[in-house]
Structure 1
Amino acid sequence: MKRLATICARKNSKGLPGKNKLLLNGTPLYAIAISQAVKTEYFTSITVSTDDEEILENSLLYGADLTVNRPPILTTDQAGKPETILHALLETEKELGISYDVVVDLDVTSPLRKVEDIKGAIDMLELNKVSSVVSACISHRNPYFNILEIDSKGKISVSKTVNPPYLSRQLSPKSFDMNAAVHVWNTQALKSNPIVIFNDSLIYEMPEKRSRDIDTELDFEIVKFLSENSNK
Structure 2
Amino acid sequence: MHLATVLARGGSKGVPGKNIRLIAGKPLIAHTVEHALAAGVFDAVAVSSDSADILAAGKKAGATHLVERPAEMASDEAGKLPAIRHCVAAIEQELGCVFETITDLQPTSPTRHPDDIRAAVAMQKRLGVSNVISGTPAKSSPYFNLVELQADGSVALSKPPAADVVRRQDAPRCFDLNGSIYVWRRDALMDGDGLWFADTHLYEMPAERSVDIDTELDFAFADFVMRR
TM category (shorter chain) comes to: over 0.9
Secondary structure of the 2:211 match is coil
Is structure 2 residue 11 aligned with structure 1 residue 16?
Answer: no
Per-residue deviation at 1:16? Answer: 1.2
Secondary structure of the 1:112 match is coil
Structure-1 residue corresponding to 2:192: 193
Per-residue deviation at 1:174? Answer: 0.5
Deviation sequence 1:56-101 (CA, Å, 0-9, x none): 2332222111111111221122222222211111111112212100
- Runs of 4+ residues over 4 Å off in structure 1: none
Q: Assess if the C-alpha contact under 8 Å between 1:110 and 1:212 holds in 2.
A: yes
Instruction: Report the Cα distance in structure 1 between the residues aligned to 2:187 and 2:162, rounded to whole angstroms.
Output: 41
Report the residue type matching 1:104 in the other structure: T
Structure-1 residue corresponding to 2:165: 166
Instruction: Report the Cα distance in structure 2 between the residues aligned to 1:176 and 1:207, rounded to whole angstroms.
Output: 11
Report the residue type matching 2:80 in the other structure: K
Is structure 2 residue 106 aligned with structure 1 residue 130?
Answer: no
Q: Assess if the C-alpha contact under 8 Å between 1:86 and 1:194 holds in 2.
A: no
Structure-2 residue corresponding to 1:95: 94
Structure-2 residue corresponding to 1:4: 3
Structure-2 residue corresponding to 1:180: 179
Q: Which moved more, 1:147-156 or 1:199-208?
A: 147-156
Report the residue type matching 1:137 in the other structure: T
Deviation sequence 1:195-227 (CA, Å, 0-9, x none): 222110111111111011100011111111111
Deviation sequence 1:110-154 (CA, Å, 0-9, x none): 011111000000000001000000111111200111111112222
Structure-2 residue corresponding to 1:51: 50
Instruction: Report the Cα distance in structure 1 between the residues aligned to 2:115 and 2:216, rounded to whole angstroms.
Output: 27
Length, aligned pairs only: 228
Instruction: Report the Cα distance in structure 2 between the residues aligned to 1:49 and 1:113, rounded to whole angstroms.
Output: 20
Secondary structure of the 2:180 match is strand
Structure-2 residue corresponding to 1:151: 150
Secondary structure of the 1:98 match is coil
Is structure 2 residue 212 aligned with structure 1 residue 216?
Answer: no
Per-residue deviation at 1:163? Answer: 4.3
Per-residue deviation at 1:15? Answer: 1.3
> What are the ranges of 5 or more consecutive residues in structure 1 without an aligned counterpart?
none
Question: Aligned in 2, Cα 1:211/1:72: closer, same or farther, shift over 3 Å?
Answer: same
